[in-house]
Amino acid sequence: MLTIKTIGQVLKEKRTSLGLDLSEAEQLTQVQKLYIVALETDDYKALPGDFYIKAYLKQYAEKLGLNADRIIQAYDEGKGITVEDKEDILENYHFVKPSERVEPEEEVPKTWRHYVPIISLSAAALLIVVGVFAAVIMNKPETPDLITNDYSYSKSEVSTSKSSTSSTKPSESSTQASSSKPEPTIAISGSSSAMIATISNISDPIKVDFSVAAGRTIWVGMTNSNVPATGQTLSDGANSLSALVTTGAENSVITLGSVEGLTITVNGKALDLSSLTTTGPNKITLQINRTTSNSAAQ
């Protein structure tokens, strides 16, 4: 059966049929894992330019044993590739002999005798519960009379403890007010395709949020975080990503296929991406200076 598939689908199906994961494909083809993911998802905007797209397509296709000229032609024409999907009918068909067929059993209507055991067990359990409850009521000890003096003494102790608790509350509030932490600050340096964001006065957990505008597709990778090693592609289907920096990590490198239409915040504070001006891959290094115990006490 003939079907039309995208270039990325053809590349990914060939790689998986060879039993290669992304790391093994990177070693075999000498194409970076970042670009392999972009090629297999047809995310050409994440690649540096048309020249590099064709070069990576040719190199990747040849190493996988595909017709590179045909793939380049499909890319130039902006069309899919017609492939033949072979379906083994014999594997999906199982003939059942008449003698092996099992006819569904007719359900026999249940009579009142079917429920007799259940009713008997329920009645026995109810009698046991009633008997235990009656035994507890009959054997309940009498409540001793309270001595008036003891009651008065206990009441005065409660009043004293309440007054001491209320007297300590203002001091606790003043201590909390004096120990307020300074706001985190972000300093930006670098330009073009590489940027350094130095974050001060921040403590764990450190949360980095990514969001992509409608109609944009951007690949995101991040070290020292819970983002998968293969990264994640953000698009209209899933246009946001929340990542946590590894506790105690002093830096984290963010790799982006593009920054157009992308917004990044760190613990709610927005990163200024205006210095990143290239259309190709961009890199942001987060330098993390956590709040020390001394600064938190001041």
Q: What is the reported pLDDT for 112?
A: 72
Q: Is 165 helix (H, G, I), strand (E, B) or coil?
A: helix
Q: DSSP 3-state assignment of 278?
A: coil
How distant, in Å, are the alpha carbons of 47, 129, 185, 213 from that of 137?
81, 13, 68, 70
Tell me which of 205 and 278 has the higher pLDDT.
Answer: 205
- From the list 70, 64, 56, 52, the residue with the least C-alpha distance to 13 is 64
The torsion defined by the Cα of 3, 4, 7 and 9, in degrees rounded to 10, comes to -50
Q: For residues 185 and 295, give the distance between their C-alpha atoms in angstroms, rounded to a whole number.
A: 14
Mean pLDDT of 242-267: 89
Whole-number pLDDT of residue 246: 95
pLDDT over 80 at 137, yes or no: yes
41-45, 147-151, 211-215: least confident range: 147-151
pLDDT at 269 over 80: yes
- pTM of the full structure: 0.40
> Is the pLDDT score of 248 beyond 80?
yes
What rounded mean pLDDT belongs to the chain?
78
Q: What is the pLDDT of residue 82?
A: 76
Quick one: pLDDT at residue 254?
87
Please report how the helices 22-29 and 33-40 are oriented relative to each other, as an axis angle in degrees rounded to 10.
Answer: 110
- Element spanning 75, H or E: helix 68-77
Q: How far apart are CA 249 and CA 167, in angstroms?
A: 42
Spatial CB neighbours of 3, under 8 Å, sequence gap ≥ 6 = 82, 83, 84, 85
Q: Report the alpha-carbon distance of residue 229 to residue 21 in Å, rounded.
A: 12
